[in-house]
Amino acid sequence: MEYTHLGRSGLSVSRLCLGTMNFGWRTAEPDAHAILDRALEAGVNFVDTANVYGFDAGKGRSEEVLGSWFARGGERRERTVLATKVYGSMTDWPNDTFLSARNIVRACEASLRRMRTDWVDLYQFHHVDLATPWEEVWQACETLVAQGKVLYVGSSNHAAWQLVVANEAAARRHFLGLVSEQSHYNLLTRHVELEVLPAARHLGVGVIPWSPLAQGLLAGVLGDQEGDRRHAERNRERIERHRPALEAYEAACRDWGLAPADVGLAWLLHRPGVTAPIVGPRTAEQLEGALGALDVHLDQAQLDRLDEVFPGYRTAPEEYAW
């Protein structure tokens, strides 16, 4: 396993991040524990969740599964860089959502209880809250850091200018500010190349891509009949819309003798500024497949071919202005 610093921080994280969104509802607790054990055995020390994950089984359920795993001991908690998120509504009451100081502090304490831990390594804002000033957000985070309940703070789904404003406000308070940003980024979705990636690199904010395989579209969906049936209802329109590019992509992967899923993850690992793509396996077999991407090295000719199939963006403003 390779490790890298999370943004400009001194925190070392694995080049793959294990996402737990499926745990507790799509993936039963014993199976989730087996996946977590295998990931830790393979050197994956970076685990991501959110307070709202659990869905059909109830919000908070994924954090509870992590809590029962940590409770098994064996230094599971000590060896894990644990990331969770705050923003989404946990109840119907108005103050149990968004990024008020009240919700940040109370939601963090609730997450700690569910995960049976004293601290969160990386506490992330699941979305931007334009109605709450950053001075209030950072006041709450400073409290949590001073109490030892949070060590680092990150964002998710933020625009480049929001990263800048956030860290300028933190700097005025002599606070570290954001060290990471979770963004929707894959070969099919490359909008963050315009401004988020260059801003993050400038600020020392590590980028953690979510949905690295575009909900399975980059995992060989055309060549996998079982996968094709799985996506028939939810993703049929997306498959048809991207069919020419997906056909060219899977043909390139066949030429290289590589699995499409491995290529999609490996491409992200080659992108400047990317810390660790988030992989969210439902099964142990899917985790093993993701681990294989760490051994894939793409040369410049392969990277150029991928850019031809899935054109990206130059950084702004050069992309759209002289």
Identify the active-site residue in 3, 53, 87, 249.
53
* Coil vs helix vs strand at 28: coil
Tokens of 68: 């029962």
- Per-residue tokens: 194: 């315009």
Residue type, 109: E
Say whether 121 sits in a helix, a strand or coil.
Answer: strand
Residues 6+ apart with CB under 8 A from 165: 134
Q: Write out the two tokens for 7.
A: 């943004």
As a whole number of angstroms, the distance between CA 18 and CA 131 comes to: 31
CA angle 301, 220, 294 (to 5 degrees): 60
In eight-state DSSP terms, residue 14 is E
* Separation between Cα atoms, residue 274 and residue 180, nearest integer Å: 10
DSSP 191-245: GGGTTHHHHHHHHTPEEEEESTTTTTTTTTTTT-HHHHHHTTTTSHHHHHHTHHH
Q: Does the annotation count 53 as an active-site position?
A: yes
What positions carry a catalytic annotation?
53
